[in-house]
Amino acid sequence: MRLRCAVLDDFQNIATTVADWSSLQDRVEVTSFTEHFAGEDELAVALADFDIVVTLRERVPFPASLLDRLPRLRLIVASGMRNSVIDLAAAERNGVTVCGTQSSPTPPVELTWALLLGLARGIVPENNALRTGGPWQSTVGADLHGRRLGLLGLGKIGGRVARVGLAFGMEVTAWSPHLTKDRTDEAGVELAASKEELLRTSDFVSLHLVLGDTTRGLLGAPELALMKPTAYLVNTSRAGLVDQDALLTALHEGRIAGAAVDVFDTEPLPAGHPMRTAPRLLATPHLGYVSELNYRTYYTQAVEDIEAYLSGTPVRRLGRG
């Protein structure tokens, strides 16, 4: 009897075509779900008869309360090697192995610049106007060359974003709670004296931090008030880094020139959510990791993870180093 594998949030319906699952066909029956399960009760019912779950990034939480309701579940494969929404201790207690996959930092870097450039040059309103018979040229683009890019975070993604900023001729400064001058010197950027100084002096601010106890709510109303009224904010990292209500207020009141976000407190974003209609906001549906290369890596390695688990030698186990 074949095991049953559920692939969650396969919105583009490509999980079984972007990778070769044929090595599992005699042992595993794969079912792809293209719609998101909104709540734990709905998820518990949908997954009751599955032995394996492949989940995308940190979109679907697996707390102890859910894992306790899935006695048949034996393996979770999550894309990426970090996942804060799977209760690893509860998984182990329930006999569930949790594995990950590699993930490239390149796609979120590229999306960061797509959003930043889209904001700076008014791409969306100008395109909409062009397609609907609106005015010919209604915005004046913000220059990048000679302007200051402030990066909150200078890790694998932030460091790459910095290199692109330098290539555009921008002044790049960075800050994070534990960032050192050695690291900024290595990246060829300036170490900001404080978060507050970075916000006050930057023309563009981009976030590239891991969400945790020290970074949650890093930018609230007081911090957003420090930004120039001509400055732009870009967040392709985690929604929890920014107080969403404070950001909405800043956008509605015109306290900053604009923002671009790819991440939200609730995903998918509910219909009627204020983020869908906020002024001065360029928003995308968490596309940072959504690229052909990443998807091929995720699902190819998901197959590898399942094969290894079935052979009794799990690989890329989360929480095991």
Catalytic (active-site) positions: 238, 267, 286
Contact between 207 and 152 (Cβ < 8 Å): yes
CA proximity to 195, closest of 183, 212, 209, 211 = 209
Query: 52-55 and 281-283 as β-strands: parallel, antiparallel, unpaired?
Result: unpaired
CA distance 236 to 109: 9
Q: How does DSSP assign 83-112, residue by residue?
A: -SSB-HHHHHHTT-EEEE----SHHHHHHH
CA distance 196 to 247: 16
Q: 268: cis peptide before it, omega within 30°?
A: yes
CA proximity to 160, closest of 199, 219, 111, 100 = 111
- State whether residue 158 is helix, strand or coil: helix
CA distance 172 to 284: 25
Q: Where are the beta strands (DSSP E) in the chain?
A: 3-7, 28-32, 52-55, 75-78, 97-100, 148-152, 171-175, 190-191, 204-207, 232-235, 258-261, 281-283
- State whether residue 28 is helix, strand or coil: strand
Contact between 31 and 2 (Cβ < 8 Å): no
- What are residue 261's DSSP bridge partners? 235, 283
Distances in whole angstroms, Cα of residue 67 to Cα of each of 42, 81, 163: 13, 20, 42
For residue 3, what are its two tokens? 């095991």
Cα maximum dimension of the chain: 64
